[in-house]
Chain A
């Protein structure tokens, strides 16, 4: 065990049906840093988050979060551990029947018996930190995508977690909202002294905010290091991903039968033949 590491993953194997997602993944996330997990779409980045948070169970290998092996935990232990983790879902996952204010207050009300004045104080502080104190009375359906994500961030911070996990926080945002989220990721991490894990495939944005990055491909860590190290890595795959080239080790074409024979009509999968 390394006290510097808040998350340790050893020899992780996980398959969905017969399709292997991870085969022997090793990965450590350092305390107090912003760590990026990158990879082409479909490499199982979100699956990895669900494994780290114990929503899925690995086929083989072990995961340790903040000094505790996930495999040994029952539901109570897992829930106790999750209280230390704040997670930001891709779409925010706000509770649609509650106002912004009540969404942020939700984990506080569920977990602690706090006087209303204190809840109000905490909620307004968190909303202020993401710049949405003025939207407290709005409903989630009235928010833009970027605002919803910021509310979700305020909610994730409400119980003062030690780890904040972001699932694709930059997807589908306009440049201004994107800049806001990028800055928030950094500021939350440093101001609160927590550790952050950001799953993303937005190379440019993530490079401005991450202390170190892992690039995952074909079930393993393909490369790791600081953003600079990754940008200048010799590997073809890393170069393709970091510089956004259409073809390379990750081929442009999804595996398919031979083009000519399929066009002529004697290929497999031709239903009319």
Chain B
């Protein structure tokens, strides 16, 4: 019983510290944005280097939706709405969620282990000793880089996904090209687009925060950095899926 209580208070303490950390990242953001080179470099690391992965995965996810969508819609004779079906599922669900999960695996782990190793090798202490705040110089640019990259990556994933679904649906399975695009154009509303954008922004903030936090607070040993990297992926995945449900529920109740 006492262990349970301690685990609970420990969780609350960590959660509180995480919120304070987020607050500091946000407070320091304007100052870091004044030195755009710090941020653009991190956008390159987190975003540009994930680009190929995101595009390949996006294409195949889209292609699978094309296949599944076609074979299931064909049972009701409504394969004409394949374009609409793919666009909605990619834009509102699969795009943001899968991009975030891939982002956690590719960029999140890189962030966590990089910062964790900087901690292990005293680089963060050395910065503090040079009167340079590592939260400003190391954590905030990486947080911003990740948070800015995510919506862009999501947009690319979704676009390539729709392309993948078109490749399977139109040239290969013979869905009418005009119906594919016009149904999509007619059926997708602004609210659908906004839901996807909102998700990608929230997921980007969450995934970057978790990665930077785990790295920054890693136990300074080889094992500690390894554990921080693992935790980054696991916690991000859970948080993303929970947030996804909450945002979807919110969007439906509002719409």
Contact = CB atoms under 8 A, between A and B. Distances in A.
Contacts of B117: 96
B137 A110 contact: yes
A18 to B, nearest CB: 17
B37 to A, nearest CB: 11
A91 B123 CA distance: 10
B129 A53 contact: yes
Interface residues of A, number: 23
22 contacts: A53-B129, A55-B125, A79-B131, A80-B131, A82-B131, A87-B126, A89-B126, A93-B121, A93-B122, A93-B125, A94-B123, A96-B117, A96-B123, A106-B132, A107-B130, A107-B131, A107-B132, A110-B130, A110-B137, A152-B126, A155-B130, A159-B130
B134 to A, nearest CB: 11
A119 interface: no
A82 B126 contact: no
B122 A91 contact: yes
Contacts of B131: 79-80, 82-83, 107, 111
Contacts of B128: 55, 82
Interface string A76-107: 00011011011101110111100000000011
Contacts of A89: 122, 125-126, 129
Most buried by B among A79, A80, A152: A79
Contacts of A91: 121-122
Interface string B105-128: 000000000000110011101101
B94 to A, nearest CB: 35
B79 to A, nearest CB: 52
A3 to B, nearest CB: 24
Interface of B: 117-118, 121-123, 125-126, 128-133, 137
Contacts of A111: 131-132
Given A82-B129, A93-B126, 16 more contacts: A55-B129, A79-B131, A83-B131, A85-B129, A87-B126, A89-B129, A91-B121, A93-B122, A94-B123, A95-B118, A95-B126, A96-B123, A107-B131, A110-B130, A110-B132, A110-B137
Contacts of A80: 131
A236 to B, nearest CB: 35
Contacts of B137: 110
A90 B122 CA distance: 9
A53 B126 CA distance: 11
A93 B220 CA distance: 13
Interface in A177-207: none
A152 B132 CA distance: 16
Contacts of A85: 129
A185 B234 CA distance: 48
Contacts of B125: 55, 89, 93
Contacts of A96: 117-118, 121, 123
A89 B137 CA distance: 19
B130 A82 contact: yes
Contacts of A83: 130-131
A85 B137 CA distance: 19
Contacts of B118: 95-96
A85 B121 CA distance: 20
A152 B127 CA distance: 12
Contacts of B130: 82-83, 106-107, 110, 155, 159
Please name the 10 residue pairs, one residue from A and one from B, whose CB atoms are nearest each other, closest first.
Answer: A93-B126, A93-B122, A79-B131, A82-B131, A87-B129, A107-B130, A83-B131, A89-B122, A110-B132, A93-B123
A79 B136 CA distance: 13
A94 B126 CA distance: 8
A81 to B, nearest CB: 8
